[in-house]
Amino acid sequence: MENIDKYLAMAKEMVVEYGVNLIGAIATLIIGLWVLKGVNRGFGNMLSSRNVDPSLIPFLKSLVSTTLKLILFIVVLGMVGIQMTSFIAILGAAGLAVGMALSGTLSNFAGGVILLILKPFKVGDYIETQGHSGTVHGIQIFNTILKTVDNKTIIIPNGGVATSSLTNFSSEPKRRVDWTIGIGYGDKIEAAREILLDILSKDERVHKDPAIFIKVSELGDSSVNLATRVWVNSEHYWDVKMETLEKVYNEFNAKGINIPFPQMDVHVHNSK
């Protein structure tokens, strides 16, 4: 009978000692989960308002939600008297070990998150990075996929893309087309300039503002070089660049303007 009374007294003391903490922990858990649900919803709305890639939003929401819930559970367990110091230390050590083992993968993951949030390029843009160039076919969480002009698929890890230099040829609505047109010494510069100006002025794809630029840039070894520059819409860049060269070749031949090429003079001396 004395033992039963003893155990009842101990149980009463434990209820008094831990009951308040347990009730407080349960209340904290319920309220915390409700608050975290609202925070996660607000975080998702913020990502949507900033035009973050739709494929990334669910992952980021899940990551933030899991992290906040883990913190909440640690706080609740601490409220009921469970010592969490050792658990946190073990969790930290395990996280460090996993992070070191997956350093390359985590780097690519972080790079993918940066690319999808900052958006230095988008699907359909023509870019050059990591020694490769092509049209962006897809932006995944670990890799960026390019399609080359000859229809090759290039898969580039996002870690390198996010931390290296990158050229986006499609980000601006217009681009400048540059040529160096060589004419022979003795040909009239003004005549060549008029031919070039006539060809470019008739091309509706060439912008009139800024004005067409044609100036002598160099007196080369075998040619007088004319720097020729125009502005076009980005999507017309390659068509204008290549078609104009063909027109220049035909017009120069028709008008008697020489297109020089490297030559070597060999002098033979008779030693007799």
pLDDT band at 102 (very low <50, low <70, confident <90, very high): very low
The domains of the chain are located at 2-101, 120-168, 174-255
As a whole number of angstroms, the longest Cα–Cα distance in the chain is: 141
Residue-wise pLDDT for 167-190, tens only, equals: 998 888 999 999 999 999 889 999
Confidence band, pLDDT 50/70/90 cuts, at residue 92: low
Amino acid at 72: L
Per the CB < 8 A criterion, the answer to whether 172 and 125 are in contact is: no
Predicted TM-score of the model (pTM):
0.58
Q: Where are the alpha helices (DSSP H) in the chain?
A: 2-49, 57-79, 85-101, 103-118, 158-163, 189-202, 237-255
219: CB partners within 8 A, 6+ apart: 225
For the residues 211-226, what does the mean pLDDT come to?
A: 91
* Topology of the domain covering 120-168: SH3 type barrels. (2.30.30)
What pLDDT sits at residue 20?
Answer: 64
For residues 17 and 261, the model is more confident at: 261
- Fold assignment, 174-255: Alpha-Beta Plaits (3.30.70)
DSSP 145-204: EEE-TTS-EEEEEHHHHHHS-EEETTSSSEEEEEEEEEE-TTS-HHHHHHHHHHHHHH-T
Note the CATH architecture for domain 2-101.
Answer: Orthogonal Bundle (1.10)
